Amino acid sequence: MMTEFQLYPRLSPDIADAIRIELIRSERVYEFKPEKLEEALYAADSFPATGGRRTNANDLLDLRDECLKAVAFSGASSSLTTSKFDLQLGRVLYKRSIGSTGEFGNARFWDFLTLILLPDIASARFPGTTSNLGARFTGGNRRHVLQRLWRRWKVFGEEVVEGGRLTEDDYVALLERRLTSERPAVAAKAAAAILESKRSGTRRREYARVLMRQLVQISGIVEIGDDEPEHLDALMRHVRGSVELMFQSA
């Protein structure tokens, strides 16, 4: 028996813009408001006109409770370190997305999740004093407070993310480019190159930056995909060799 596809709500751009401005200007943890959830969920444009089971208020409140518990959120703050916070929250979001990946790829869904369902969690992670808040709270942006966590799990999988060997800087370098954010096999090879370089700190960030620059440049000349492992291996050996030569001659 097939499981019915689950639809998740979207937030209209006008409402998202208004709440986003209010959240950023508040410079404090933005309170979750049940009445806003009710209003946004039952708006005329909250779901696409396609088949599937619409997520209801109880489903969403269950997701909210799961997220609150995952990050030990109480009294407008979390007792976890930021790395643990990101790991735990990303896990919940990824597991919820299984079977509904297309829904989680929609920018307006992330606006709903961040600005309506989890505004307190999101604003506690990046408070009003943090720079680039517009990007952090805009669905579809690669720096989005929640979507970036989900994407880590989607691209790299449980073993890599749970392993904890990739740093925040590594994730930024690897997932800010479509070449790696949309091609898991390419992303995995690039991650392996960074880890196997044995570099740390500033030297590791510079290595990752140069590696990604070389990959992007060569992708304009040679097709780089996930479906030819031997070709990808040969290509990565070439790129890694080029990068190492650059560092040796620097």
Which two tokens mark 176? 């800010």
Per-residue pLDDT at 2: 46
SS3 204: helix
DSSP-derived secondary structure for 33-101: -HHHHHHHHTSTTSS-SSSSEEP-HHHHHHHHHHHHHHTTEETTEESS-HHHHHHHHHHHHHHHHTT-H
- Please report, as a single letter, which amino acid is at residue 39: E
pLDDT at 3 exceeding the cut of 60: no
Per-residue pLDDT at 132: 83
pLDDT at 59 exceeding the cut of 60: yes
Mean pLDDT lowest for which of 9-18, 45-54, 163-172?
45-54
What is the maximum alpha-carbon separation in the chain? 62
Mean pLDDT lowest for which of 94-108, 122-136, 143-157?
122-136
Per-residue pLDDT at 241: 93
Give the mean pLDDT of 25-47.
93
Give the residue from 164, 205, 211 showing the smallest Cα distance to 187: 211
Give the residue from 85, 215, 216, 204 showing the smallest Cα distance to 148: 85
Q: Which uninterrupted H or E stretch holds 201?
A: helix 201-219
Confidence bin at 4 (pLDDT 50/70/90): low
Instruction: Look up the pTM and report it.
Output: 0.91
3-state helix, strand, coil in the chain (%, to 5): 65, 5, 35
